[in-house]
Structure 1
Amino acid sequence: MTVVNPTPVDAPGRERQDAYAVSAEFYDVLQAERDEARVRALYRDDVRGARVGVLDVGAGTGRVTLMSLLESRAPVHAVEPARSMRTPLMTRLASLSPELTKRVTVHPQLLEEAGLYGVADVAVCHNTVACLHPESRRALWPAVAEALVPAGVLLVQLPPARLPRHRTTLVLPTRTVGRHEYGGRMVTSADVDRIRTRFDYWVREDGRVLRRHDETFWMWPLSRPEMIAELRKEGFIALPERPDPSVLALRLA
């Protein structure tokens, strides 16, 4: 899931404002199955080749983390500052065997605060970068470079390249859990220089709506050439374009 750079608090050890308090309940139910297949298709081959470690930046509920544990024998570092998303991640990890859980460490803060140095040769930013304010996004790259060993590979799911011209609505697949049917939609529109993305969720029983919730996220567009130029300043060199152009692959020079 995406990671928004939350408002900091003064007291050490306190939780930051949680940007996913609503969506955490619905994310796995409505989106995880499709996202799991996408994660395997986009990153599995690189993760299988990891020898030092895998870094999952913005781990969310753990799709990249779990795939990395199953597809590699390397240590995995899952970075997830949002408590509401980290809770299902921890629950998912707790159901695994000790042989797997001893290889994964969950870091409950921003990567810039985690103090990771040379822990991975593969880093994945899936469904994360688009929701970072440009200042926060640029602050992330030095921390990624520090966490990677020389010649390490960074895989970034790119933000939208431009603002949407029209307001669009994507209906999420419904899912039945017991007597309840879960569903929702994603509404996207331009707002000056950023993209407003609102998720509307509902729970029904026998056609009657029991609950409605909504949550809004902001995204900042950035083109592939702009992202490459931004990362070049931190020592990353773009690799040949992947079959799926939504992912940018780079190597730390």
Structure 2
Amino acid sequence: MSVRIHDGVTDYEKHNVAKRVTWVAPRRHRFYRSLGKRFIDIFLVIMALPLVLMLSVLIMMDGHSPFYRQERVGRGGRIFKLWKLRTMVPDAKAELEKYLAGNDEARREWDAYQKLARDPRITKVGHFLRKSSLDEIPQLWNVLTGDMSLVGPRPMMPEQRDLYPGRAYYALRPGLTGMWQVSDRNASTFAERAEFDTTYERDVSMGLDAKLIVATVGVVLRGTGQ
């Protein structure tokens, strides 16, 4: 199957029907899948540790604790704690519910995409970190501990499992970057992530991972994150 790249989408409701995606266990590149991918993960994580320290100091200067943890679904459905740089105000979940309760359009956007183009909870430093996707950097620790990989599906929260129509996600370690992360991520719905994950699981190789890591540099430089 091919991954569809969408133009700008404004009609949130037309994406609310999840598209079911089939998945077949691949047989290619078994050595890379089992050993090579993990070795490259560990090597590149060690090289990036100074960047984590620099960004954490930047957040502390903004008056906030730099790190926080959230639950995510890992390979095989196992729940793990994901590390991120703090980009939102305290009690962000309560602030979100209060905002959505008084804004019907934002509620429809959140239900379709599980994110907001204009999220009032994000701090000034947080806007920069999210635009550049640098708020994801502490997940290098999750890569080092084996909960994640440098390249893989976007980690999803436990409460999002019912919104996800695919199966390939559960055969992979979630990734710091991946096909969805370097694509039209701001235009595709949450359910459409399954298409990217199915394509990646079918085609995963060292060459594909290298292309996605290089593409991630372009995403960071263009500042397309939200």
TM-score normalised over the length of structure 1: 0.23
Which has the bigger relative contact order, CA under 8 A and spacing at least 6? 2
TM-score normalised over the length of structure 2: 0.25
